[in-house]
Amino acid sequence: GSLLQLNTPSLSVEDLTIQTPDSPVSETDIQLPSAEQLTKHLSEKLQEIEEESKESDQVDHPVSDSGVKINIGSSTDDDIPLKFCARLLASKFLLAGNKGDLITDRSVRVSVK
């Protein structure tokens, strides 16, 4: 048998670029999106979120806004302001106005950012 030699270019070690976390990245390696692309992407995402919220609003169980007022005090009370803040948050996001009842998760949208 004869050996078939393929004519492939051989690379030397100098031709290889090895990038480590400490080595600087050249500007040609980083491709940042343009402001127009970012704006378009953001607009698309906002549109998706609006459509999702419209779909979630059309639930079989209508969200009832009973309009029950809970006395949580006032920010000008003599008590510690943090207590009023905690009562305000609980009344907006947890309490339904009846003992033992909580507001459903679907009726409250909280964004953690």
Q: Is residue 28 part of a domain?
A: no
Question: For residue 70, what are the domain limits?
Answer: 34-104
Residue 85 CB neighbours (<10 A): 12
Distance CA 75, CA 87 (A): 10
* Per-residue pLDDT tens digits for 21-68: 776 666 556 677 788 888 888 778 877 877 776 655 444 444 445 556
Domain tally, the chain? 1
pTM score over 0.85: no
Q: Is residue 99 part of a domain?
A: yes
Contact yes or no for 111/104 (Cβ under 8 A):
no
Phi and psi angles of residue 43, each rounded to the nearest 5 degrees, phi first: -60, -40
Q: What percent of the chain has pLDDT over 90?
A: 0
CA atoms within 13 A on the CB side of 12: 1
Q: Is residue 112 part of a domain?
A: no
